Structure 1
């Protein structure tokens, strides 16, 4: 399978890239700065703040699945998250890419019917803007009339550095925790879940969540 990872030099995107390479997939790193890619793989450049139908078609030509890991945290430009989601949904079908997997956030998961995690008083203030931006991206996916098959994948509330700790569990829109009452997953296990979904295509046009 030929996979393109948008954001392949980021923390999560880089981990997904390594997982996909380790499984023998043909991986294309789609990044703003090609000099930051350390693996010996195909590299294509794309600035997500300047996407057009033409440069998206060039960046994602001839790939089976696009995995997008996008964050506005570094530049404190959270508007770029939902904007990128909407533009990928619009342009990728024209590029011939049939599937899009999106690295989402936990803030839009529901702790009760109609009550999102980000709306609770306990949600950390420093992560609210990012969580709200990912919620807006989810809304773009759910409202789309794009021909592309998409999957929005929310990690646990705590995604942390480290190797595999336990078999991950999949959920849907509901926030869930482990036996100790914690919502957590290692970045390696989250990457496994992303590549598993890329391979198996079990949750088309759905939001799923990943945690222990």
Structure 2
């Protein structure tokens, strides 16, 4: 497949690029600073952009089978970037007629598991309160997706960890795995790539966790 990855210098974005290349895909990585992308490959094209102009992004998504995004706030001070930058990506994707778009969101944006215990519910409420601005940004991002004409999927992980790829995790379409507290960034990327052709995830949020 021909894929474009936004946010390719982030933890999940780098894994998306690396794993997609390992799987034999052609990858276009859109980054602000190419020097920060420590991934190389014969099938890798690097495009530099600050994501301010959708017209500038159109060549980077033209003719792609899918677009994947790891864009999002890295701190509470960055809240707002996910909605703003995803809107720019959507404008470019829709202008070029690319249908498939997968993005990273977060577990608290979706519904809580029905059978979580008191501790899990308490932790969820606490984290949601501390990172309220970040999650409001992600909800805004998902609202932009819902208004678009793309076949989008929002992948919603819990607390992220830097762990090696395992390929072993749980996913729930339209919900979240019970007692799912952690997942490695590499496995989030693995899930996103695995869901590209999953029709049951179109226009859906997908909870993913160990």
The answer for unaligned runs of 5 or more in structure 1 is none
Partner of 1:84: 85
* CA RMSD of superposed structures (Å): 2.5
TM-superposed CA distance for 1:161, in Å, is 0.9
The answer for unaligned runs of 5 or more in structure 2 is 115-120
**Paired residue for 1:139, among 121, 143, 158?**
143
Partner of 1:3: 3
Partner of 1:149: 151
Structure richer in helix, relative to its length: 2
Partner of 2:17: 17
Asked if residue 196 in structure 1 is aligned to residue 173 in structure 2, the reply is no
Residue pairs, 1:39-78, within 5 angstroms: 39-40=40-41, 41-48=44-51, 50-52=52-54, 54-73=55-74, 76-78=77-79
Judge conservation of contact 1:107–1:118 (CA < 8 Å) in 2: no
SS at match of 1:185: strand
Whole-angstrom distance in 2 between the partners of 1:200 and 1:11:
24
Whole-angstrom distance in 2 between the partners of 1:103 and 1:211:
13
Whole-angstrom distance in 2 between the partners of 1:29 and 1:105:
22
Normalising to structure 2: TM-score of the pair? 0.84
Normalising to structure 1: TM-score of the pair? 0.83
Residue pairs, 1:22-37, within 5 angstroms: 22-37=22-37
Cα distance 1:106–1:16, how it changes in 2: closer, same or farther (>3 A)? same
- CA offset digits 1:137-194 (Å, max 9, x no partner): 112222x1x3321111111x222111234622111343333xxx34222222211111
Judge conservation of contact 1:8–1:29 (CA < 8 Å) in 2: yes
Judge conservation of contact 1:46–1:59 (CA < 8 Å) in 2: no
Partner of 2:118: none
Whole-angstrom distance in 2 between the partners of 1:196 and 1:138:
20
SS at match of 1:66: strand
- CA offset digits 1:37-67 (Å, max 9, x no partner): 231321112212x123x11212222221110
TM-superposed CA distance for 1:124, in Å, is 5.8
